[in-house]
Amino acid sequence: MRSILPALIVLLVAVTPVLAPTSQVLLTLAFAKGLAVLGIIVLLQAGQVSFGHALYFAVSAYVAASVARSFGGELVTTLLAGVAAAAVVGLVVGVFVVRYRYIFFAMLNLAVSMIFFALLEKFYYVTGGSDGLQVPRPTVVGLTLERGEFETILFYGALVLSLLAAWGTHRYLASPLGNMLRAIKTNEVRLEYLGVSARSTLLSGYVLSAALCGLGGALMAVAQGIVTPEYAYWVRSGEFVFIAILGGSGSVAGAFVGALIYEGVRTYAAAFASDIWQMVLGIVLLVIIIFGPSGVTGLYQRLMDRLVGPARPRGAGDSERAPGAAE
């Protein structure tokens, strides 16, 4: 019952290229952001928030751009290179930042992303400075495509990648490792007294979050055809956190629901009321935080609980549910 609406939305989104081709690019960009937000949601499980994850978005986007420019640019290798770069940078930065918590964790991430932003502007021989880099349209399994075809392929690629990432992240959060990550939020002392290193656990989540942000960044780069230092700017990091709260940080679906709403409001509000779209979003966020701190997906779950009775407890306590069964 409660999965009817989500299934309908996925279906509706999937037929967009046919029904409303003009929204296709918008949705691709929403998926790209949703993937990055998924990374934020992973960290939020551990009670940590990063105000610098645009770093991984940008690292991946720039690496993807360079690969597309210099190696003939196959779509798959472009995306893979971007994600791999984000994961490696995530590991290096992560080793350092997982020693800190809360405001220090948030601000250290911000600091590192600001440094990277400055470097992107400074080293214009490599990065194109504030003009950024053009990203030539990559080939898809060796084929050079028209713009329209490419956009459709990219849309479906983004849709499939988003579904896969959401599924994988959901499984990860239900796994022992994911439960240990969530345990960091409530009791690190006990975690250590179970023989588990809280830092290593957080590091594994951090690298995953960096990779997810990277996937989003690389998709954004090929979808927009240009990368600029703005990809690493702190406003973008803040946007990811904003969308996570909006959509609901308690579930992987929240990332994509939030991103769709955010991009929708941004685009249409900007068209009809260009001066006040930030105000609209600000008010939406206020309402969410005050009345439904678990975001839009949390509100939906509460509504469903009321209509069809409460769901069984989520995760490991859920003894009767078959492993991997959909919620």
Least separation, in Å, of the C-beta of 321 and other proteins? 8
| Interface with other proteins, residue 186, by CB under 8 A | yes
Please state, in angstroms and rounded to a whole number, the distance separating the CA atoms of residues 175 and 211.
19
| Cβ neighbours around 300 below 10 Å, total | 20
Which one of residues 34, 90, 178, 248 is an interface residue with other proteins (CB under 8 A)?
A: 178
Contact characters 214-243, other proteins, x per CB under 8 A? ------------------------------
Q: Using the rule CB under 8 A, give the single segment among 104-112, 120-128, 134-142, 191-199 that binds other proteins.
A: 191-199
Q: Smaller CB distance to other proteins: residue 196 or 304?
A: 196
| Interface with other proteins, residue 171, by CB under 8 A | yes
Q: Using the rule CB under 8 A, give the single segment among 150-158, 180-188, 229-237, 281-289 that binds other proteins.
A: 180-188
Which one of residues 27, 32, 166, 180 is an interface residue with other proteins (CB under 8 A)?
A: 180
Q: Smaller CB distance to other proteins: residue 176 or 293?
A: 176
Residues in 297-326 that interact with other proteins by CB under 8 A: 313, 315-319, 321, 323-324
Two tokens at 263? 């991009």
Residues in 100-129 that interact with other proteins by CB under 8 A: none
| Interface with other proteins, residue 23, by CB under 8 A | no
| Interface with other proteins, residue 99, by CB under 8 A | no
Tally of helices (H runs) and strands (E runs) in the chain: 15, 2
Least separation, in Å, of the C-beta of 300 and other proteins? 20
Least separation, in Å, of the C-beta of 24 and other proteins? 32
Least separation, in Å, of the C-beta of 197 and other proteins? 6
| Interface with other proteins, residue 130, by CB under 8 A | no
* Secondary element (H or E) of residue 261: helix 252-272
Please state, in angstroms and rounded to a whole number, the distance separating the CA atoms of residues 131 and 185.
41
DSSP states along 114-146: HHHHHHHHH-HHHH-GGG-EE-PPPBBTTB---
- Say if CB 61 and CB 50 are below 8 A apart: no
What is the SS3 assignment for 310?
coil
Which one of residues 189, 271, 290, 307 is an interface residue with other proteins (CB under 8 A)?
A: 189
Least separation, in Å, of the C-beta of 191 and other proteins? 8
- Say if CB 178 and CB 185 are below 8 A apart: no
What is the SS3 assignment for 71?
coil
Q: Smaller CB distance to other proteins: residue 63 or 211?
A: 211
Please state, in angstroms and rounded to a whole number, the distance separating the CA atoms of residues 239 and 284.
14
Which one of residues 95, 174, 270, 284 is an interface residue with other proteins (CB under 8 A)?
A: 174
- Which of 28, 48, 19, 23 has the alpha carbon at shortest distance from 249? 48
| Interface with other proteins, residue 197, by CB under 8 A | yes
Question: How far, CA to CA in Å, does 175 sit from each of 68, 91, 273?
Answer: 36, 21, 45
| Cβ neighbours around 6 below 10 Å, total | 16
Question: How far, CA to CA in Å, does 250 sit from each of 12, 106, 124, 135, 253?
Answer: 24, 19, 40, 35, 9
Least separation, in Å, of the C-beta of 103 and other proteins? 21
Binding stretches for other proteins (CB under 8 A):
168, 171-172, 174-180, 182-183, 185-187, 189-197, 204, 313, 315-319, 321, 323-324
